[in-house]
Structure formats: structure tokens, C-alpha cells
Amino acid sequence: MNWKKVASKAALAAGTAVLSASLYAADTIKVGVLHSLSGTMAISETTLKDTVLMMVEEQNKKGGVMGKQLEAVVVDPASNWPLFAEKARELLTQDKVDVIFGCWTSVSRKSVLPVIEELNGLLFYPVQYEGEESSKNVFYTGAAPNQQAIPAVDYLMEDFGVKRWVLAGTDYVYPRTTNKILEAYLKSKGVADEDIMINYTPFGHSDWQSIVADIKKFGSEGKQTAVVSTINGDANVPFYKELGNQGISAEDIPVVAFSVGEEELSGIDTAPLVGHLAAWNYFQSVENDANTAFIKQWKAFIGDDKRVTNDPMEATYIGFNMWVKAVEKAGTTDVDAVEDAMIGMTTPNLTGGVATMGKNHHLSKPVLIGEIQEDGQFLVVSETEDLVPGDAWSDFLPGSKDIIADWTKPVECGNYNTVTKTCSGQNY
């Protein structure tokens, strides 16, 4: 037997297999999915993982993108903020993904940001956040504070006559920065220091008895009081249960939440919560053909007619569809080319309008205030007449009011000072 020939055939076969695998890999476009599937944030993030998978499946049925099928690469950063950075690096360097849809909390996004910028990756971030950031490598499809927090406070002032404010949040960057903006905004409206109560609790906090008692006492001093909640993740379940336990109704002390949607309410007895509020840019209860079709598609994909949709799902839907259009416009998945193509990109939202990507990598959005119903859905009680462009930098913080983000020439900067005409610090 000629062993050299056998070895040569084996080597040829192995080489052919490697070549085939390489050609297959080159023939797909990889989509990274970076959402917690375990830990305290899984209650919210698992749904977004499934949303991306649904969008990938649907796009592949349409023929993929540029004639190539999409391949989802799912990782679990497990509600562990440093692990988000590790998994992002893994997606970009090992899995060679072309885009990442992911993160929920701002601390996870902040963890990922240096990695994305170092490796020139592309992240679509689908959740409301505190602003004060604009990265060339990130498209923010969730709400900035001027598209959620500020309109919610205005609504409570005008429709409820609220004079005292409880700013209750989970202890990390999004609630702290948002509340810093809200505190400045309230004071600009003449609200006194003694009429603002601020409280922070850890992720996963479960013992709300004393805190809710403090809120109840704060609201019993003769002025209409409201809670502005930036409590995140599974801590919302015991928080709302304790409100019910202590008999706090929406008529007494309304709560407006920025991180509680249909998904979070699906695990709670909502009867005691009827009338409490949430501010988002989308609710499942919005009636139009596009939303009806999306809900139907979601229930069929997930195989559960009781599953609900929510705002970050719509933000994922918008971001995914914009990315597909941008890739097709650019004719490539090259990050720089796709980023350029994204500016000014439009796609239908699910509330009956059209989303447009701004020069600052933020979307235009409607702002909706919803009232919790017994079935866990929201009745829309207020909506902005026009779409609100996202503002990356707050007009109410001294260090930010003169700053804009503009990723088009000649500015090409995430923190451009309109007074000094300079781009300060890093470009985010």
C-alpha cells in the first residue's frame, strides 16, 4: 500500500472540508445576539434574544441580505456586566459577527462600548437610556431622556398636578444619570429640594416594605405626590406587590415607570396596579395593521398565544430593519459603510409612523403614556402630536447643554461643543 498517496488523499479531503466550511462561513452574514438569558435581567432580555431570532428567520425567508442567509450567534452574558465585554469581544474576534444586537442596562452597554470601539464593531442598543453619550459604533434605538423621562414628568405635572416627587431607581448609571437630569429639570420648574425624594436599591432588591412605607409617608404631607421609577429587572415584581400590600393606589400616589412594560407585568397580579403608568414609545395595545401583524408573527414564532410584545422589542424591530436596509444600500456589511448608510435611514415603526435615524445615531420617536389595565396591557392616555428626535445630550445639565452629537462631515463627533466649536474628550 502506498501510504504517501493515502496521506495525500486524507490531507486533500481535510483541506476540502476546511475550504467548504470557509466558503459556507463566507456565504452567511453573522448576527451577534448579546442578551442576558440568566440572572436578574433575564426577565427582560430573553424576549429580545427571541425577537432577534424571529427577525433573522423572517429575513431569511425573504432571501436573506445581499443574497446571503443570516446566521444568529447567541451568547449569554448572564446579567454579569464585565462578562458583557468578554462576550462582545468573543463575538467580534472569534465568531466574526457583522453586527451585534444587545445589552439592556446602561452598565452593560458601558462595559461593551470600549470593546466595540476598539474592534470597530457595530452595536444596536434597543432600550431607553440616560443619554450623555453618542458613539460612532452604536445606534441607539431606545429612548433618550427627552423622549421618555421629561415628557412623563410634564404629563404628571399638567394632568395630575404633582408637586412632590419620588425618584426611585436601581443603583447603576441609567437611574442615577436620568434622575440627575430630572432633578435639574424639576428645579428649573420651581420644585423645592424638600419636595424631591431620591432612593436607590441594588439589582434584584426584594424587601420593599420600609421603602414603600417611606414613600407613603412622603406622600401624606398635603401635596400631590408621584413616583418616577427607574427600577429595573426582576426587582419590579416585589416593588409593585408591596405597593398593593400597603394600599397605595394610582389615585393616591401614581407611579410612572420607565422600565416596566408588558413583559414585566405578565408575571404580576395587576389588579392593585390599575391606573399606575408607564412612559414608552410603543405599547402592544396600539391599534394599526403593522402592529397587528407584528403581534401575530411574534405569537406564532414563540408558540405561545399568551406572550406579549413591548417597547424594546419594537426598538429591536426598527433597528434590525434599518440595519438590513443600510447593508443593502451600502452593498456590504463593512461597519464604516453601514454606519454612513444608516444616517437618515427610515423605516416604519409599529405605532403608525416612520422612524428616522438622526446624525447623532438616535431615532425620532413618538412618546406615549400608558395606564396599566387589569389584563396587564396599557391604555394609551397621552401621546405627543409629533415625533420627537432623540437628544444625546441633555439640555438641563450644565456640562451638556452646549454639546451635540453629529456623525456627519465636517463635524464627525459625538460630543461637539457648539460654543467652543471643538470636539472634547473621546468621541462618545
Does residue 22 carry a pLDDT above 50? Answer: no
Nearest alpha-carbon partner for 397 in 238, 181, 240 = 181
What confidence score (pLDDT) does residue 345 get? 98
What is the pLDDT confidence band of residue 137, given thresholds at 50, 70 and 90?
A: very high
- The answer to whether the beta carbons of residues 349 and 322 sit under 8 Å apart is no
Q: Are residues 260 and 278 in the same domain?
A: yes
* Angstrom distance (rounded) from CA 226 to CA 160: 9
Q: What is the mean pLDDT of residues 186-211?
A: 97
Average confidence score pLDDT of the chain:
92
* Angstrom distance (rounded) from CA 135 to CA 139: 8
| Cα→Cα distances 400→138, 353, 361, 424, Å | 19, 30, 17, 11
| Cα→Cα distances 415→114, 123, 294, 427, Å | 16, 19, 36, 6
- State the CATH number of the domain containing residue 29: 3.40.50.2300
414 occurs within a structural domain: no
Q: Identify the residue whose cell numbers are 396596579.
A: 273
What confidence score (pLDDT) does residue 157 get? 97
Q: Are residues 178 and 224 in the same domain?
A: yes
**Into how many domains does the chain fold?**
2
On the 0-12 / 13-18 / 19+ scale of CB atoms within 10 A, 411 is middle
- The answer to whether the beta carbons of residues 380 and 283 sit under 8 Å apart is yes
Q: Are residues 252 and 383 in the same domain?
A: yes
In angstroms, how far is the first alpha carbon of the chain from the final one? 66
What is the pLDDT confidence band of residue 425, given thresholds at 50, 70 and 90?
A: low
394 occurs within a structural domain: no
Does residue 358 carry a pLDDT above 50? Answer: yes
208 occurs within a structural domain: yes
Does residue 409 carry a pLDDT above 50? Answer: yes
What confidence score (pLDDT) does residue 62 get? 97
* Angstrom distance (rounded) from CA 41 to CA 319: 21
Q: Are residues 193 and 265 in the same domain?
A: yes
The share of the chain scoring above pLDDT 70, in percent, equals: 93
| Cα→Cα distances 319→75, 131, 281, Å | 19, 18, 14
Cis peptide before 410 (omega within 30 of 0): yes
Q: Are residues 124 and 151 in the same domain?
A: no
More confident residue, 35 or 237: 35
Q: Are residues 150 and 264 in the same domain?
A: yes
Q: Are residues 30 and 128 in the same domain?
A: yes
Q: Are residues 221 and 162 in the same domain?
A: yes
Dihedral angle sign, alpha carbons of residues 120, 122, 127, 129: positive
Q: Are residues 170 and 239 in the same domain?
A: yes
What confidence score (pLDDT) does residue 15 get? 46
Q: Are residues 152 and 251 in the same domain?
A: yes
Range with the lowest mean pLDDT among 6-10, 181-185, 298-302? 6-10
Q: Are residues 84 and 130 in the same domain?
A: yes
Does residue 25 carry a pLDDT above 80? Answer: no
Does residue 424 carry a pLDDT above 90? Answer: no
259 occurs within a structural domain: yes
Q: Which contacts qualify for 412-420: CB closer than 8 Å, 24 or more apart?
A: 412/136, 414/133, 414/134, 414/135, 414/136, 414/360, 415/134
Range with the lowest mean pLDDT among 79-93, 135-149, 209-223, 262-276? 262-276
pLDDT digits 0-9 by tens, 39-57: 989 988 999 999 999 999 9
Q: Which three cell numbers stand for residue 139?
A: 445606534
68 occurs within a structural domain: yes
pLDDT digits 0-9 by tens, 258-309: 988 998 888 778 887 899 999 999 999 999 999 999 999 999 999 999 999 9
| Cα→Cα distances 71→65, 111, 253, 313, Å | 11, 25, 48, 20
Q: What is the mean pLDDT of residues 234-250?
A: 89
Q: Are residues 200 and 244 in the same domain?
A: yes
What confidence score (pLDDT) does residue 237 get? 83
What is the pLDDT confidence band of residue 234, given thresholds at 50, 70 and 90?
A: confident
Q: What is the mean pLDDT of residues 334-359?
A: 97
What is the pLDDT confidence band of residue 141, given thresholds at 50, 70 and 90?
A: very high
Residue 113 domain boundaries: 11-144+294-365
Q: What is the mean pLDDT of residues 307-329?
A: 97
- The answer to whether the beta carbons of residues 165 and 225 sit under 8 Å apart is yes
399 occurs within a structural domain: no
23 occurs within a structural domain: yes
